[in-house]
Copies of this chain bind each other. A is one copy, B any other.
Amino acid sequence: MRNLKEGDTNMGVSKFGLGRNFLARAEHDSDIIDFVTDFAKENGVMTAIFTAIGALKYAKLGFYDQEGHEYLETSLSSPQEIASCLGNVSIREAKPFVHAHAVLVDSKGNTNAGHLLEGKVFAAEIHIFELVGKTVVRKNDTVTGLFLWDI
């Protein structure tokens, strides 16, 4: 991994330059994943990382079954604080694709966490940090069954 230059790839690591930075107030009643996906598509954001805090009206989380290679889904029908949301944008099937994980908490203090599949926005503050360089494409990985970065 030594002496990586911008765009170089070696052992699953790529180097990037710094792109545009955005703060977003996600639209009330939008889906947070769709919001970031649409923003990336409309602004030509190919690669980015993002963070979000706020609250959701309801959400759907996934847990990936490492043996069965399928997502177990949990729907949370009650309001949730977004205690944390970390995600990224890369390219899948030639389009910007959002991958995000979140930690949510309900009014009783029960914490729920995992892969954020859906989240209806009550209010959300998002920081999107574009990275520029090699295009990061997701390809099917036979070991995990996941679409992982081909870097």
Contacts and interface: CB of A to CB of B under 8 A. Distances in A.
Interface residues of A, number: 75
B25 A151 contact: yes
Nearest to A72: B107
Interface in A59-90: 63-66, 72, 74, 79, 81-88
Nearest to A47: B23
A53 B107 contact: no
Interface of A: 1-4, 11-18, 20-28, 38-39, 42-43, 47, 49, 51-53, 55, 57, 63-66, 72, 74, 79, 81-88, 99-107, 109, 111-115, 122-123, 125, 127, 131, 136, 141, 143-144, 146, 148-149, 151
